[in-house]
Amino acid sequence: MIHERQTIVSRSLDSPAPSQAGWAVPRPATRVLQLVGARADQVMFAVALVAGSALRLWHINSSGFNSDEAVYAGQAAALAGDPELSKFFPIFRAHPMLFQFLLSIMYRVHFSDVGARLLIVAIGLVTIILIYKVGALLYGTSIGALAALLMAVMPYHVIVTRQVLLDGPLTLCTTLTLYLVARFALSHRPIYLYATGASLGLVFLAKETGFVLAAAVYAFFALTPQIRIRIRDLILSGLVMMVPIAAYPMSTALAGRSDTAKGYLVWQLFRRSNHSWTFFPTVVPPAIGPLVLIAAVAGLWFLRRERSWRETLLISWILVPCFVFQLWPVKGFQYLLPVAPAIAILASRALIRVPAVLLVHRRAFAPALRAVLIAVVLLSLTLVTWDRLQPPTSATLLAGAGGMPGGRETGEWIAESTPENSVFLTVGPSMANIIQFYGHRKAYGLSVSPNPLHRNPSYEPVQNADLMIRSGQAQYIVFDAFSASRTDYFTKRLNDLVEKYDGRVVHVEYMPGADPGPEGYPPRIIIVYEVYP
């Protein structure tokens, strides 16, 4: 038995992975190319880290937090004991708190926007390293390095890992899980199955929606009969998985907030759809990169003769979350980020190997074609990413797709210039979150439903905004173009209040970098009105 296991390890770890042959055949014609080729993987991986760092750090603090970032940072600050933010951000909200827990430790030492975002950037870079490891494990270092490079410049990952969101840490945990599943598939050693369980537990703690990848793991094992799992190992792995998962209900129970967690669970399960079914097909492919998707699909087709459990694993990793989230009524831009590493690896596999297959009779040209294809794909990704990193010129940004221009400045103005205990009315909860985070003032979104089934349990509805102003309970009204672009109805209600109470403009934020309009100034994206009863 021991001998068999050693044999497996020996075969799986010491023998060259299929990819080595893919990069090596045809081998460089000259000695120089051979030398370059020998180090190409390392160079490419180093470029991935440098480019990934540069793109993630570029003007990282130019905009303040958007609504979701404010919520997570607010939770972390509350957990760290910040007396001001504890008033506005309950520690327990809709998700488990692995990232908030880590961020709160940092906040205990230093509280800043940029610090929180640097933590996310670090998580993004570790994810890139893990993608390299997964790619190298499955197909060799060349494909691993290229996958890391694709991920490093991919708009989807760059944008999300510049923001204080849960999806960056989630993707790190899911990629770690992918790596461990691959290692188990290669080695059949139960310890990797246990580690997979532990990693899936971390996935849940990072963001419970990522747990859908447990189904991807199951689908992979179900579709790969050659990988046999003993029931005992499966049970042990499940038990190991339950330990981190238990942290969520246990912490809420110990803190006496089990009802809060249940409330969020009910709301998450029954909340209304926030986007149409076309949302993901519309927004995700451009963010991943159409050429990357084409390459991944083309690789599956052209390399179908090489098909192995590796592709089954990656395809399971992609299709299961896509299927589930397409059916799930609630959709968000960053929800499908965990599938991006698998797509990047499949695309890299295609870019490295397909040229040799296509030019089977002219193998000498394969390196050149490979280089051109890689360059085109990388260029297409980098250009789109660069464009997305420029200051937004439209207020109709997707939630989670970037910071909120002017939000931090407005919040800081509010903190400095309005009386403590002032109350603000906004179109929706997004701006309200930002005001509460930066302005330390209570803010209510008009669009928050009075029906508990239709609102985030954290949000308080406005029963009668008019009465709030008349009775002196609210002193300011805040218009923001981002929320206005999402709801005409509540924007009109807000503007009606401004008109009725003769709102006086006390602060304006303009679209940064935008050209002046006919009025002589750039579009106004945030307006703070003062109202008297």
Partner 1 sequence: MPFICLLLVCASLGYAPAAAADASSETATPIKHFITLMQSNRSFDNYFGTYPGADGIPPDTCMPVDPPGETSKDCVKPFHVQNFEEDLSHTHLTFTRQYRAGAMDGFIDAFRKRGELFSWTMGWLNDEDVPFDWNVADQYVLFDRYFTSATAGSTPNRMFWVSGQPGVTNLNQVGIPTTGWGDIPTIFDSLQASGISWKFYIENYDKNKDINYRNRGDGGISAQFAWAPVLSFARFIDDPDLSKNIVDLNQYYTDLEQGTLPAVSYVVTVGSSEHPPSNPAAGQRLIRKMVTALMQSDAWPSSAFMWAHDDWGGWYDHVSPPQVDQFGYGFRAPALLVSPYAKKGFIDSTTLDHTSVLRFIEDNWGLAPLAERDANANSFINAFDFTQPPRPPALISMSRTPPAQLIIPDRSKIYGVYAGATGFAVLVVIAALVWTESSRLRLRGSRRQALKRGHT
- Quick one: which of 49, 126, 198, 322 contacts partner 1 (CB under 8 A)? 198
Size of the site for partner 1 (CB under 8 A): 55
Amino acid at 62: S
- Quick one: which of 47, 247, 319, 330 contacts partner 1 (CB under 8 A)? 247
Least distance (Å) from partner 1 to the CB of residue 53?
A: 24
Is the torsion defined by CA of 316, 317, 319, 320 positive or negative?
A: positive
Binding mask 295-314 for partner 1 (x = CB under 8 A): --------------------
Please spell the DSSP secondary structure of 172-210, one letter per residue.
HHHHHHHHHHHHHHHH--HHHHHHHHHHHHHHHHH-GGG
Q: Is 194 in the site for partner 1 (CB under 8 A)?
A: yes
From residue 120, how far is each of 99, 111, 124, 209, 226 by CA, in Å? 9, 14, 6, 19, 38
Instruction: Choose the stretch contacting partner 1; rule: CB under 8 A; options: 42-50, 78-86, 262-270, 507-515.
Output: 78-86
Closest CB to partner 1 among 192 and 335?
192
* Closest-CA residue to 28 (of 373, 364, 371, 369): 364
Cis ω before 341 (30° cut-off from 0):
no
Three-state DSSP class for 425? Answer: strand
Residues 335-374 that bind partner 1 (CB under 8 A): none
Amino acid at 469: I
Q: Is 452 in the site for partner 1 (CB under 8 A)?
A: no
Instruction: Choose the stretch contacting partner 1; rule: CB under 8 A; options: 122-130, 269-277, 413-421, 432-440.
Output: 413-421
Instruction: Choose the stretch contacting partner 1; rule: CB under 8 A; options: 227-235, 253-261, 339-347, 396-404.
Output: 253-261
- Quick one: which of 38, 243, 266, 375 contacts partner 1 (CB under 8 A)? 243
Strand 423-426 relative to strand 476-480, pairing: parallel
- Quick one: which of 121, 202, 345, 448 contacts partner 1 (CB under 8 A)? 202
Q: 353 with 22: CB under 8 angstroms?
A: yes
Instruction: Choose the stretch contacting partner 1; rule: CB under 8 A; options: 95-103, 222-230, 384-392, 519-527.
Output: 95-103
Q: Is 191 in the site for partner 1 (CB under 8 A)?
A: yes
What's the token pair of residue 190? 């139960």
Instruction: Choose the stretch contacting partner 1; rule: CB under 8 A; options: 310-318, 344-352, 414-422, 425-433.
Output: 414-422
Q: 443 with 425: CB under 8 angstroms?
A: yes
- Quick one: which of 48, 178, 214, 240 contacts partner 1 (CB under 8 A)? 240
Please spell the DSSP secondary structure of 242-307, one letter per residue.
HHHHHHHHHHHHHTT-HHHHHHHHHHHHHPPP-S-TTHHHHHHHHHH-HHHHHHHHHHHHHTGGG-
* Closest-CA residue to 327 (of 280, 378, 259, 380): 280
Separation of first and last alpha carbons in the chain? 83
Binding mask 205-234 for partner 1 (x = CB under 8 A): x-----------------------------
- Quick one: which of 23, 45, 92, 413 contacts partner 1 (CB under 8 A)? 92
Instruction: Choose the stretch contacting partner 1; rule: CB under 8 A; options: 81-89, 308-316, 344-352, 478-486.
Output: 81-89
- Quick one: which of 33, 54, 255, 453 contacts partner 1 (CB under 8 A)? 255
Three-state DSSP class for 446? Answer: coil
Residues 1-40 that bind partner 1 (CB under 8 A): 6, 9-10, 13-14
Amino acid at 523: P
- Quick one: which of 34, 36, 81, 230 contacts partner 1 (CB under 8 A)? 81
Burial class (CB in 10 A: 0-12, 13-18, 19+), 357: middle
The position carrying tokens 């994810």 is 127
Q: Is 254 in the site for partner 1 (CB under 8 A)?
A: yes
Least distance (Å) from partner 1 to the CB of residue 330?
A: 25
Closest CB to partner 1 among 257 and 271?
257
> What residues form DSSP beta bridges with 526?
480, 509
Backbone φ and ψ of 289, nearest 5°: 110, 115
Least distance (Å) from partner 1 to the CB of residue 383?
A: 37
Residues 487-526 that bind partner 1 (CB under 8 A): 504
Instruction: Choose the stretch contacting partner 1; rule: CB under 8 A; options: 57-65, 296-304, 316-324, 469-477.
Output: 469-477
CA–CA dist 143, 136 (Å, integer): 6
The footprint of partner 1 (CB under 8 A) covers: 6, 9-10, 13-14, 79, 81, 86-87, 91-92, 97-98, 101, 176, 180, 183, 187, 189, 191-192, 194-195, 197-199, 201-202, 205, 240, 243-247, 250-251, 254-257, 418-423, 471-473, 475, 504, 530, 532-533
